[in-house]
Structure 1
Amino acid sequence: MSLRHITVIAPHFKRRLSGVTSTVVQLVPEQVRLGRGIVTLGPGLPDHLPKMLWRQLPALWRRPEQARWRVWPARRNTEMLPGILMRSVLRMPLKLLFTSAAQRKHSRYTKWLIRNMDAVVATSARSGSFLEVPHTVIRHGIDLEVFHPPRSADDAMAATGLPGRYLIGCFGRVRHQKGTDLFVRAMIELLPQHPDWTAVVCGRVTAEHHAFGEELKAAVAAAGLSDRIRFLGEVDDIKPWYRRLTLYVAPSRNEGFGLTPLEAMASQTAVVASDAGAYSEQIAIGETGAVVPAGNYEALRDAIRPYLANPRLAQEHGRKGLEHVQANFALRREAEALEEVYSAMISL
C-alpha cells in the first residue's frame, strides 16, 4: 500500500486479543468510511484492516501529500516510545497522540511518555482525572450494525437449547479481576428462587486462572445448579449471545474503559454493572440498568434481584438501553470526534 495519502499510522504492538484490539478493529473501518487515510502497523489484527508493512517505515520520512504531518495514535507505552524515537530522534514528520483508558495513577515512566505526546485523549472523564496534562474526553462507541437487537429465531433464548425462559449472562475472561466469582455467587444464591432463569458464563480461562475457574464450577456443582449455571468457555461468536440475554452483568473489580455494557445495550439487553472502568458513564441508572460499587457482592446481588423477579422490567430497560446507545454511543460519533483531533494536529 502506498503511504502518499496516508495521514494516520495506527500502531498495535500486541499479539494477544485485548480491549484495545477490539477498539482498533471496530474503529479503523469507520475512520476509513469518513475518508481518513489510515493504516495499521503491527501484529494481532484481522486481514481486512488496511495495513502498512514494517519495511515501509523509511517512507515515513516523506511527508504525505497535502499534509505537513502524520498522526501516530498510541494506546500503550510500547507504542508511545517508538513514536517518540521516530519523531524526536529520527526526525520523522509525526505528531503523537495518546489515548488513555487507565483509571489509576500512572508510573513516572508513563507520565514522562505522556508529557512527550502532542495531544492526549481520555476515554472517560474518570480516566481523564488521572492525567496531569491537557486532554480531550472521547468515549468509545459501538458499531450498531455489528451489535444490534434480535432479528431472527437464532437470537432467541430457545435457540440455545438451555432450560428456562430467560437468560442472564456474564462475558469476559474468567478471572478475579473480572468479578466472575461475584456473578457465580449471586447466581447460586438467586436462581433457586427464580426457576425461569438460566445463567451463562462466556469467556476463556487462561492457564494461570485455571484453578479459579475450577473452584467456581465446583461451587456450582455443590449447589446442584450445574444445569442452570453454564460455563460455555470462549464461544466462536459472542454477538448472538448478547441478543439472547434478558439481563447482562458486568461485575468487574477493575477495568480500563469496558465495552461489554455498550455491546449488551446495543443488543437491547439491560445491564447491571460495577462502577469499574467507564461503566457508570455508560448506563442511565434506573432507566437502562443499575450500577453498584466494584467488588461489593451484596450490592451486586441486590441490583440483579429485581430483574429476575420482574423480567418485564429487564425487557423495558433493554429497550431504553438500545435507544440510549443509539443516541450517545454510536461508533460514528467516536470516529468523528477523533477526526477533529487528527485534523487539528495535522494542520499545526
Structure 2
Amino acid sequence: MPFVEDMRDVEVIAPNFKRRLSGVTSTIIQLVPVQNRLGQKVATLGPGLPGDLPAMRWRDLPALWKAPGRRPLRIWHARRNIEMLPGILLRDVLRMKLKLVFTSASQRRHSAWTRLLVSRMDAVVATSRKTASYLGVPNTVVMHGIDVERFSPPADKAAAKAACGLNSGQKFAGCFGRVRHQKGTDLFVDAMIALLPSRPGWSAIVAGRTTPQHAAFEAGLRQRVRNAGLADRILFVGEHADINRWYRALDLFVAPQRWEGFGLTPLEAMASGVPVVATDVGAFSEQIVGGAGETGILVGPDDLPAMVEAAAAFLDDDGRREAAGHRGRSHVTANFAIENEARQLGLVYAQAIGGD
C-alpha cells in the first residue's frame, strides 16, 4: 500500500473501518483514485482496502492537529456510524483541524443513535432523493457514478460472447450480483424458467459470489433449473473480477432485488449498452428512464408476473431492446460518470470548509 509520506499533502481522509467487502467499501475503492486524479488529495485509513490506494497510517493521526498544505482544515468523509464517531472524537474532543462529512445510502428512518451522529456532521450527502427524504437534516444529493470507459458497449457483440465462452449465436439475459434472497436471484431464475422454453434463441446468466451461508439457496436454484430441463441455458458462472466483459455479452439485464441501498448494476448494464428490467427499490427509479426516453422498465419488488411481462417485452422486440440500449449508454455517460460524483463531492468539501 502506498503510504502517504507527507500528511500536508492529504486534504481528505476516507476512513474504512470494516474489513468485510461491502457496497461502501466498493465505493471507496472506485472513487478515491478518481478523486485524486481530479486533485482532491484523498488518503484512506483502515483495513480491507487494496494495496494500490493511497493510505495514511494510524501513527499519522497526530498530524491532524495541523492543517494541510493548501487548506485551513481537512475533510473526514465517513460512510458508517463506526467512522462518524471517531471523527467526532477527533474534531470535538481532541480539537483536530477537521470538518466531518457523512454519506448515507439508507432508505429507512435511522436509529436514534445514528440520528445523533448525523446531527454532528458538518455536511451530509444522500446518494439519492429517496435517501434524502429519510435524513431529516440539510443534505446534498450526490448520486453514485461508474467508470463509463470500463463499462462500455462492445465493438462486436458476437465476439464479446465468444470471449466469455458463450454461444455467440444466442442472446443472453443476465442477473449479476451476490446470489441470495435479498438480491432476488430466485425471481430472475423463475422468470427465465417461465420465458426460455418458448424462446429457444435466448439463454440466461447468473453471475456473482455465493457466500457459505447462502450456498443452500444457490443449490436450490440450480435444482429448480435442472427440474425445468434448462441446465444448459440458465448458466451459473460464479464471481468474476472482469464483470465488465460479461455485461458486454448481454442483450438484457435484470435487477430483481427485493431491497437495495443504491445499486450500481443497472448503471453498469446501461453503460454497456444493455437495457434493464429492474425492481423499484434503491435508487433504480432515479437511474432508469421510462416513456419516450426509455432505457428500461421498472416493476414492483417481488412481483414475478410483472417481471416476466417486462422481460418478455424486450426479449420479443429487437428494435425496442436495441434502441433502449443505445439510449441507456447516452443517459449514463451524461449523468452517472464517476467523475461527476467526484466533482460534486469536491464542491461539498469546499462548502464544508468554507462554513468554518
**Range of TM-score over shorter length:** over 0.9
Q: Partners of 2:149 and 2:58 in 1: how far apart?
A: 32
Deviation (angstroms), 1:304: 0.5
- Tell whether the 8 Å contact from 2:157 to 2:249 is kept in structure 1 after alignment: no
Asked if residue 36 in structure 1 is aligned to residue 47 in structure 2, the reply is no
Structure 2 partner of 1:312: 319
Q: Note if 1:241 corresponds to 2:234.
A: no
Residue 152 (structure 1) shift: 5.5
Query: Which secondary structure state, in structure 2, belongs to the residue aligned with residue 98 of structure 1?
Result: strand
Amino acid at match of 1:26: Q
Within 5 Å, give how 1:158-177 maps onto structure 2.
158-163=162-167, 164-177=169-182
Supply the AA of the counterpart residue of 1:308.
L
* Match in the other structure for 1:346: 353
Counterpart CA distance in 2 for 1:169 and 1:106 is 34
Check the 8 A contact 1:155/1:241 in 2, yes or no: no
Inter-partner Cα distance in structure 1 for 2:80 and 2:287? 23
Q: 2:138 aligns to what?
A: 134
Q: Which amino acid aligns with 2:318?
A: P
Matched, 1:273 2:294: no
Return the offset for 1:35. Answer: 1.1
Q: Aligned to 1:301, which of 297, 308, 318?
A: 308
**Residue identity opposite 2:274 in structure 1:** T
* Kept after mapping to 2: 8 A contact 1:157/1:167: no
Secondary structure (helix, strand or coil) at the match of 1:341 reads: helix
- Which of 106, 114, 118 pairs up with 1:114? 118
CA offsets, 1:107-136, max 9 Å, x none?
A: 111111111111100000001111110101
Q: Do the aligned partners of 1:12 and 1:40 also contact (CA within 8 Å) in 2?
A: yes
State the identity as a percent: 57
Please tell me whether the aligned partners of residues 155 and 240 of structure 1 are also in contact (alpha carbons under 8 angstroms): no
> For the residues of structure 1 that align with 2:19 and 2:159, how far apart are their CA atoms?
31
Q: Distance in 1 between matches of 2:102 and 2:296?
A: 31
* Residue 152 to residue 29, structure 1, CA distance change in 2 (3 Å): farther
For 1:256, the equivalent position in structure 2 comes to 261
For 1:20-70, what per-residue CA distance to the aligned partner results, in whole angstroms no more than 9, with x for missing partners? Answer: 122212211111121112111111222221111111111111111232211
- Which runs of 5 or more structure 1 residues have no equivalent in the other structure? none
State how far apart, in whole Å, the 2-side matches of 1:148 and 1:10 are. Answer: 28
CA-CA distance at 1:259 after TM superposition: 0.6
Q: Distance in 1 between matches of 2:302 and 2:221?
A: 17
User: Paired residue for 1:26, among 21, 30, 55?
Assistant: 30
CA distance in 1, matches of 2:340, 2:283: 17
Q: Conserved in 2, the CA contact under 8 Å of 1:155 and 1:243?
A: no
What amino acid maps onto 1:293 in structure 2?
G
Note the C-alpha offset of 1:229.
Answer: 0.3
Superposition deviation, residue 16 in structure 1:
2.1
Structure 2: gaps of 5 or more residues: none
Distance 1:318 1:23 in 2: 25
Distance change in 2, residues 1:154/1:298 (3 Å): closer
Q: Is 2:63 the partner of 1:55? A: no
Shift of 1:311: 3.0
Of 70, 78, 82, the match for 1:78: 82
Cα root mean square deviation, aligned: 1.4
Q: State how 1:172-183 maps to structure 2 within 5 Å.
A: 172-183=177-188
- Report if the CA contact (8 A) 1:268-1:319 is conserved: yes
Rounded Cα–Cα distance in structure 2 between residues aligned with 1:155 and 1:325? 24
In structure 2, relative to structure 1, the CA distance for the partners of 1:55 and 1:30 (3 Å cut) is: same
Q: Secondary structure at the match of 2:221?
A: helix
Q: 1:105, CA displacement in angstroms?
A: 1.3
Distance of 1:20 and 1:308 partners within structure 2: 34
Which residue is equivalent to 1:204?
209
Which structure 2 residues correspond to residues 323-338 of structure 1 after superposition, within 5 A?
323-338=330-345
CA distance in 2, matches of 1:295, 1:85: 43
Three-state SS of the structure 2 residue aligned to 1:99 is strand
Q: Tell me, what secondary structure is at the counterpart of 2:131?
A: helix
String of CA shifts for 1:311-336, please: whole Å, max 9, x gaps.
33222211110000111111111111
Verify the 8 A CA contact 2:9 2:68 in the aligned structure 1: yes
Please report the TM-score for the alignment, with normalisation by the length of structure 1. 0.97
Change over 3 Å in CA distance of 1:262–1:110 after alignment to 2:
same
- Residue 153 of structure 1 and its aligned partner are, at CA, apart by 6.9
